[in-house]
Amino acid sequence: MEMTIRPRRLRNGAVLRKMVRETRMDKSSLIYPMFVREGSGIREEISTMPGQFRYSVDQMPYKLEELTKAGVDKVMFFGIPDHKDACGSGAYAQDGIVQKAFCKAKEEFPHLYLIGDVCMCEYTSHGHCGILQGEYVDNDRTLEYLAKIALSQVQAGADMVAPSDMMDGRIGAIRRILDDNGYVETPIMSYAVKYASAFYGPFRDAAGSAPSFGDRKAYQMDYHNSREAVKEALLDVEEGADIIMVKPALSYLDVITRVRELVDLPVAAYGVSGEYAMIKAAASLGYVDEDAMICETAASVYRAGADIFLTYYAEKIARFMDEGRIG
């Protein structure tokens, strides 16, 4: 049979396939989300996220050492306080759990790049991401608190802050307070496109952050919408965001692509707790090859246009890159 064009020519052998690969991945793009909690001697497995743990600050360095050995040098901290109140004061306290984690990590692992999740849901007694007025989250009052949280994290050692609350105007408020306090070089990674998603269930168990009433659909995005994602992303660019994030990842690959095409900033994607838990559950039942699924789903996120990938599988993905299985 006469055929001039044969696409299979470039699939003949692993060396050739890797040479012509369209999607390239690197360890430097990986961020590991980590849960830190009050107390000591704690390494507590999260029941809904097998293989993931809550660490007290004194146990945290063991995990940071493992990440370092794997080549993952970027970590985002999520705090789990003992005390919660209506205004989430533990989120911006100088001796708050996340602040203590930043100080300890910066002291023992100065090479690590540390990122702070700026939100209030883990710290408020009602579980919502802002200050309540009745049962309504007051957007503008909340901005002052988010700005205080971001500043406290940077003062404690955070290299970057990442607001995840989805209040309108929070990027501008955080940029102003950081600049006014001399942190003009500290970047903001905005959870610009964060959907109200069922995929967050295991995280809410891990962080104890489920709302005590209602839901978050009045401030997180409707998963039917993609044009709105562009609006949210462009607004955050105007307010001073340095990186734009899409969350979750797998059900929103089209959104990652759309944002990538319209935004000149780096684009991050968050492989959230539900995505992790689904792979773990299917693998535990013998339905899928876990390692193969990790590689394939990670590649899909990068292929969609993400430059940065936040994932609970960061350590494994880094090792798979070393082995040549992905990347």
Nearest CA-CA partner of 224 in 195, 247, 245 = 195
Amino acid in position 211: P
Q: Are 77 and 98 in contact (CB under 8 A)?
A: yes
Which residues are CB-contacts of 252 (< 8 A; sequence separation ≥ 6)? 193, 195, 223, 246, 269
N-terminal to C-terminal alpha carbon distance within the chain = 35
Angle, to 10 degrees, between the axis of helix 139-156 and the axis of helix 170-180? Answer: 40
Q: Report the b/e string of 107-146 with b at 16+ CB within 10 A.
A: eebeebebbbbbbbbbbbebbbbbbbeeeebebeebbebb
Alpha-carbon distances of 64 from 45, 108, 269, rounded to whole Å: 16, 9, 22
Say which residue the tokens 């209506």 belong to. 86
Q: What is the DSSP letter of 222?
A: P
Rounded CA Rg of the chain: 20
DSSP three-state, residue 129: coil
Q: Are 175 and 237 in contact (CB under 8 A)?
A: no
Say which residue the tokens 């497995």 belong to. 45
Q: How many helices (H) and strands (E) does the chain have?
A: 11, 12
Amino acid in position 324: G
Neighbouring CB atoms inside 10 A of 184's CB total 9
Q: What is the DSSP letter of 12?
A: S
Catalytic (active-site) positions = 194, 247
